[in-house]
Chain A
Amino acid sequence: MAKQVLEGVKILDFSWALVGSITAKQLGDHGAQIVKIETSKRVDLARTDRQVSISKPNSFDDKPWFTHLNTSKYSMALNLKHPRSREVVDKLIQWADVVLENFTPGTMTKLGLDYESIKKQRPDIIMASGSVYGQTGPMAQEWGVDGTGNALSSRLYLTGWPDRGPVVPTSVPYGDVVLPTFIASAIIAALDYRRRTGKGQHIDAGMFEAIVHQTSPAIMDWVANRNLQGRTGNRSLYASPHGIFPCAGEDRWVAITVFTEDEWRALCRVMGNPAWSQEDRFSTLSARKENEDDLEAYISKWTRQSTPHEIMEECQAAGVPAGAVQNAEDLIEHDPQLKEREFLTPIEHPVLGTFGHPTPPYKLLRNKAGVRTSPCLGEHTFMVCTEFLNMPVEDFLELENEGVFV
């Protein structure tokens, strides 16, 4: 296997919530050495929430959720509130290329670990801070999580049916996963910049600001036209049909989206050119938009007779964009495309056994990612101290006896 892209890059990672964890994972999966600083006094959020029956309330090491977000890292237990922890942190700062954190802004300053302080010890350090509101401004220190970012950016308001209130914009995180793509990119670009200029920098990334770029088509419609967009269900301004249609089976659906007249004629052919499809009221995009309720009802009658995957295959063969609304079973057991891409790769975890770990969804065709399972809390404390920091064993034992590594 070719060398990993980020081999030799050292990341001191104070993350304890999703934004930081996922950022570090992106870097670790491509070979960076991540030392994740943790403490049992205040554990990473994902070490506590239980989503599956194997996870017990009294363990920090049996949450597959944590594993999915924290692959390819070393875990070091270190109680930052212990006065002597700073001796270890100072060594880690000398060791690291990058310091990553996602505390509420202000916390690193209280710990004496803000950029200005760290920079005094290491002038070329790269530091990246992820938060909801950003590091400055009147609300910088407000509490926030993924849901906050959704709400602030208008993403929440814009998701759902026009005749009902907003729905949770997916049952899965969004800002928590999207923001890390920008932070990780910024970190790598900063490493490249440092290689060219010798200079470090502090990256300040806020979820609110990053996600407003996603909702900016609606925001700019307000800015440019004073047009206030609302919830539109599954419909599109410039495509019809554009929706989710019921299929045979319980809670089975298919997505069909028609952007051109060619695609519309192809869909009609796939449906067997029923008489209704030849009516004038469906013959152009604007006509279909006007009669969209009827259009969707007719298409639903056709889709109901088949499975989502059958409709997808028939439509795609004819050049109509369509996709099954897949459930977790489809993804994990059947999807041949995700298998081709090794979406979930089986890796053994010391507590949870062997199960699928996601690989980075952007494939570098020359440098395959090397995903390792997530660490148990404090699993690598001794190794980090003695091997990465070259700490004499007796010094380690002394600090351990004082309760620094908990």
Chain B
Amino acid sequence: MTNRLLQGFRALDMTDEKGFVCGKVLAAMGVDVIKVERPGGDSSRNIPPFVDNDPDPEKCLLWLIYNTDKRGITLNLETAKGQDLFKELVKVSDFIIESFTPGYLESIGLDYDALSRLNRRIIMTSLTPFGQKGPYSRFKGGELIASAMSGVLLSNGYADRAPVKEALDANYFHANGAAVLGSVMAHYHREATGEGQQVDVSAQEVSASRNTNNILPYLFDKRMLKRSGDCQWLGLNPARWIWECKDGYVWHNLMGGKVGAPANRALSQWMDEDGIENPLREIKDWNTFDRSTVTMEEKTVREKAIAEFFLRHTKKELDTEGRRRGINAAVANTPDEVVEHPQLKARNYWVELEHAELGRSMQYPGHFFLSTETTTKIQRRAPLVGEHNKAVYQELLGLSDSEVEELKDNGVI
């Protein structure tokens, strides 16, 4: 199977580390994504950690992980010659993905309006902290700021401390997913009409769009939820979601109604078999259990008993025996446990990519989704600095060897 969903289309990827994932996903769908770096390589290549803990721009993990399947060229966009070359590339491309501060591309004559005059089919996806227009549009941003400004951060963490961020770059990962969706949506329109457009993605707004749990209580009741650490607000009270077990943590909560009933019964029965205090036993009909009406007293008594139960068991027990019994708990895997996870192995999730220049290979997460008709797995490691200069400039723009050499000598590429 060699078909790809978006085979035959080309993207120029001008993003910094905040926008790598969008092009990665498009590339996994078969788009020929060309990462455009400044001569010498992007500064994002200096972000730690590095392979073998060696701070070499070719060993930046973030670069390697999120630029798979892309080709790489260098190009100085601040020279007239560089801008001309870029415009020539735009004429033979379908997408541009960029994450510059709004206004920057206009200042070098490469904004959407200018480029669409060269290629009316071009789609420019702009992923920025706050969007292209509006009072904050030129503010600097990033993961922590997107999370803060979207309202998502405030309710995350303990009441006795500052709010605490989600793991890694969660908000920007989501914003990249939204940028993929916007790009593909615009592509569908373009293929029907021949008409490209700009897609304007705001990381703040993307995060705010999943903040329903905080927005609705304010919209309807002028109520603001409090941070509650290992608890989740569902309905009118917080319910505990994270539990310490013998050797780590698990996620579990009592779901309501028929959906939660079998698991709640199974947990109660296991607690009985353990011979510990079990206030869940008093709930006779789990089918009508409504988690939004649980009182604080009921919650305190039940959660104390459930906490004691989880502390008696290991992650392994809660995973194997817990799944057999169907208590609907999930072990909080550590990163190494993810790598060993039998489900991912069974689905051939991991892909081994060769890094000849590093003298090793590395195992990567292989797909975002699977398809019966098309290949969606990653296939090629991220590009080295300027690795495909010759191939791209010769194949796409028809430059000769000596012309490419001259560009190199003049610092354009």
A-side residues, CB < 8 A to B, are: 5-6, 26, 30, 42, 45, 48-54, 57, 64-65, 68-69, 115, 133-140, 142-145, 147-148, 150-161, 164-174, 177-178, 181-186, 188-193, 195, 197, 199-206, 208-210, 212-225, 227-229, 233-234, 237-238, 242-246, 251, 253-255, 257, 259, 312, 316, 319-332, 335-338, 340-341, 343-344, 355-356, 358, 360-367
B117 close to chain A: CB less than 8 A? no
CB neighbours (8 Å) of B170 from chain A are 155, 169, 174, 214
Quick check: A167 and B141 within 8 Å, CB to CB?
A: no
Which of the 9-residue segments B69-77, B252-260, B298-306, B398-406 touches chain A? B252-260
CB neighbours (8 Å) of A26 from chain B are 181
CB neighbours (8 Å) of B6 from chain A are 189, 192-193
Quick check: B166 and A189 within 8 Å, CB to CB?
A: no
Instruction: Digitize B199-227: 1 where CB-to-A-CB distance is under 8 Å, 0 elsewhere.
Output: 11110111011111111111111011101
Alpha-carbon distance A145/B338, docked complex (angstroms): 18
Alpha-carbon distance A53/B217, docked complex (angstroms): 8
Alpha-carbon distance A42/B372, docked complex (angstroms): 30
Quick check: A172 and B52 within 8 Å, CB to CB?
A: no
Alpha-carbon distance A324/B152, docked complex (angstroms): 12
Q: What count of chain B residues pass the 8 Å CB interface test?
A: 156
CB neighbours (8 Å) of A172 from chain B are 152, 155, 210-214
Quick check: B185 and A321 within 8 Å, CB to CB?
A: no
Known: A330-B151, A331-B215, A332-B219. A177 touches B210 (CB 8 A): yes
CB neighbours (8 Å) of A161 from chain B are 157-158, 161, 164
Quick check: A170 and B152 within 8 Å, CB to CB?
A: yes
Instruction: Digitize B52-64: 1 where CB-to-A-CB distance is under 8 Å, 0 elsewhere.
Output: 1100000001101
Quick check: B135 and A238 within 8 Å, CB to CB?
A: no
Chain B: minimal CB distance from A43 (Å): 9
Alpha-carbon distance A53/B220, docked complex (angstroms): 8
Alpha-carbon distance A265/B130, docked complex (angstroms): 24
Quick check: B174 and A166 within 8 Å, CB to CB?
A: no
Quick check: A343 and B208 within 8 Å, CB to CB?
A: yes
Quick check: B51 and A328 within 8 Å, CB to CB?
A: no
CB neighbours (8 Å) of A356 from chain B are 215, 219
Alpha-carbon distance A148/B47, docked complex (angstroms): 30
Residue from B164, B341, B347, B372 in contact with A160 in the complex, judged by beta carbons closer than 8 Å: B164
Cβ-closest 4 pairs across A and B? A181-B177, A362-B182, A340-B134, A201-B373
CB neighbours (8 Å) of B202 from chain A are 337, 341, 361
Known: A255-B144, A328-B151. A52 touches B166 (CB 8 A): no
Instruction: Digitize B109-139: 1 where CB-to-A-CB distance is under 8 Å, 0 elsewhere.
Output: 0000000000000000000001101111101
Interchain Cβ contacts within 8 Å, total number? 509
Residue from A189, A253, A254 in contact with B5 in the complex, judged by beta carbons closer than 8 Å: A189
B10 close to chain A: CB less than 8 A? no
Closest residue of A by beta carbon distance from B263? A143
Quick check: A216 and B65 within 8 Å, CB to CB?
A: yes
Chain B positions 219-262 with a Cβ under 8 Å from a chain A Cβ = 219-221, 223-225, 227-236, 241-242, 244, 248-251, 253, 255-259
Instruction: Digitize B256-296: 1 where CB-to-A-CB distance is under 8 Å, 0 elsewhere.
Output: 11110001000000000000000000000000001111000
Residue from B158, B257, B333 in contact with A167 in the complex, judged by beta carbons closer than 8 Å: B158
CB neighbours (8 Å) of B12 from chain A are none
Quick check: A325 and B191 within 8 Å, CB to CB?
A: no
CB neighbours (8 Å) of A332 from chain B are 215, 218-219
CB neighbours (8 Å) of B341 from chain A are 152
Instruction: Digitize B150-193: 1 where CB-to-A-CB distance is under 8 Å, 0 elsewhere.
Output: 11111111100111111111100110011111111111110100
Residue from A155, A183, A227 in contact with B167 in the complex, judged by beta carbons closer than 8 Å: A155
